Structure 1
C-alpha cells in the first residue's frame, strides 16, 4: 500500500491536516485520524534523518544513515532537569538544624513557599518567628540549609503524581536575608506576589523577610529506579527549564488514560518489543517522551521484564500543541507500519523516529 504524494493530494491534504491539528489539541481518539488521513504524517514530517552516530534500539547500537548530520538531541541534560523541577515547584521542604531543647542538632523540616530569582536561586518569604527562621538566625552567617522539591505533588503545578515515580531536587547552600537595596528587590516582590497571592498582605510586615538560598550542592533524582546525579551549581544556573514542564503531567495522564492501544502499537512497531504486557508514558518534554514497557520473557511466560525507552521528537517543540502533534505522528506511523503502509521509495513508517533505550531490566 503506497501513500499519495502531497502534489497529488493538494489542498485536500492541507484541509485534513488542519482538521487533525485541532483534534490533537484535545487528544481526540487517534482511530478517527487514521481513518481520515493515513497519508498526512508522511507529508508534514521533517525529511531530515538521523545521522551516522549510533542510536540504541532495544539495547543494541545500530548505525544509521551515513549521508546526514548527527542525530538530534532527544534528552534533556541533568542540569536542565534539575532546573525544571525547581522552576515548576513553588513550595518545598526546608531542612534546617534544630536549636530546640531535647532535639538540638537534629534535622528540622518545614513546609515553605518559594520563587526563583534569575539565577535559579530559591527565594523564600519567612516569618521571623517561624521555627526554621529561628534556627537560621541562631546558626549565624554562612549556615547551610537544604530545600527539597519534587514534581507531581502539592508542591508543584499540574496534576498530582503518587509514590516515588517523580523527579525531585535537593538544593543545599547558604541562606541569607535579602535587603531592600538588592538590585532585584522589586522583581522578587513582584514574582513572589504573582506566585503566592497571600504574599501581598504580609511582605511589607516588619516580621516578614525575604531570604535567598545560594546553592553549593545540588542533587537530582529522576524517579524510582531512575538515574540520580550531583549537579554543578554553575551548570544549574546556566540551564533553561523545559517549556512543557507545567503541562507534562496532564499530557502524560491523557496519554495513559486514552491512548493505551496507540502506546501498545508504539512499543511493538517503533520500539520492536515483543510480548508486551503494559506500556506507560512516564515523562514528556520538549525533546521527546519516556516510555516504560513491561513484556513477557520468551520461553518464560511467567517472567516479566520492564525496560525504559526514550522516543524522541524529530525537532524540539515550542508549545503544548506542537508536542501533541509530534506524539500523534509517532502513533500514526506505528499504526501505518502495523498495517503495511509504505511511503515513497518503499520507506517504512517510523524508521527514522529517534529511539534510545535508557534502562534495561537485568533481573532474570
Structure 2
C-alpha cells in the first residue's frame, strides 16, 4: 500500500518516510513514531463490525500491549460484544493515541489506526501473549485464567499515522514491523520538564543561535528522541518550529545530558 500525506485514501500520492527535517536535522520515520506509540500504549479503541445492526463499526475500549513485532495483544471476554463480532468477522481496527497530559487541544496528539484481522491465539502463541500482557497489565492476573477470557492479536495490514497538525501518512505494515521504538520514550516527559524548567536559558540559546531564530523571545522544548529534539519558538512575528540534531543518536538519559551540554557549549562558543 502506498503512503500519502493527504487526508484521503491510501495511494493518493507518494510521501516521505519521515517528516521533512527542520534545520536539516534527522527525524524519526513515521514507522518509528508508530512503533514508539504502540510500545507505550496501554488502552485503545477497538472497532469491530457489528452483528446488530449489521455492518456498522462498533467501537469499544480495551486494554492493550504489543509483541516484539508491534502487533497488538488483547485479552477479551467471550461475553463482550466485540468478541462476538470478531468471531463472525475478523476484520478490525485499533486506535491508539498519546495521553493528553494536560494539552488543551487533543488533535495535537499523535495517534494511529492499525487495521487488520484480529483472531484468537492458541498454544505457544497464547502463552507468549499471556506473559507480555501481564507484564503490561499486572491486575489482569485476577481474571486472566477465567474460562471465558482468551488472547487475541491484531495483525496489521495497514497503519494510518497522524502526529498532530500537518504530520500524517499511511505506513507500510512491513516498515512498521521492522521499525524500533524510540529508546527515550519512557523518559522523554521528564527530560522535557527538566530542560524547560531548569534550563530555560539554554533552550532559548538553542533557538536563537543553533536554530538561527535570532528574534526569539522564548522557546519550549516540545519533544525529544534518539536523533534530536524539537522547539516551539516565540517571535514577534508569531510562533516558529525548529528541530535540532544530536551529534549522534542517543539511547539513554545520560547520553542526552551530555549531548545537551555539548550543544550549550556550541551555542555559547558562537556568541563569545
Task: Confirm whether residue 331 of structure 1 aligns to residue 264 of structure 2.
Answer: yes
Q: CA separation in 1, counterparts of 2:22 and 2:253?
A: 27
Match of 1:80 in 2: 32
Cα deviation digits, residues 70-95 of structure 1 (max 9, x gap): xxx73211111111110111221112
Call closer, same or farther: CA 1:331–1:238 in 2, change over 3 Å: same
Task: Confirm whether residue 187 of structure 1 aligns to residue 128 of structure 2.
Answer: yes
Task: Confirm whether residue 134 of structure 1 aligns to residue 84 of structure 2.
Answer: yes
Report 1:161-176 matches (<5 A).
Answer: 161-162=102-103, 163-176=106-119
Deviation >3 Å, runs of 4+: none
5+ residue gaps, structure 2, are 1-20
Q: Is the 8 A contact 1:93 1:110 kept in 2?
A: yes
Tell me by how many angstroms 1:120 deviates.
Answer: 1.3
5+ residue gaps, structure 1, are 1-54, 62-72, 154-159, 298-303, 341-364
The structure number with the bigger radius of gyration is 1
Task: Confirm whether residue 254 of structure 1 aligns to residue 254 of structure 2.
Answer: no
Partner SS state of residue 112, structure 2 = strand
Tell me by how many angstroms 1:177 deviates.
Answer: 0.7
Tell me by how many angstroms 1:337 deviates.
Answer: 2.7
Q: CA RMSD in A?
A: 2.0
2:51 aligns with one of 81, 99, 122: 99
Match of 1:314 in 2: 247
Tell me by how many angstroms 1:161 deviates.
Answer: 4.8
Structure-1-length-normalised TM-score: 0.64
Q: CA separation in 2, counterparts of 1:247 and 1:207?
A: 37
Q: CA separation in 2, counterparts of 1:331 and 1:165?
A: 29
Cα deviation digits, residues 231-290 of structure 1 (max 9, x gap): 000111111111011111221222223322221111111111132133221211111111
Q: Is the 8 A contact 1:116 1:122 kept in 2?
A: yes
Match of 1:202 in 2: 143
Report 1:292-303 matches (<5 A).
Answer: 292-297=232-237
Structure-2-length-normalised TM-score: 0.84
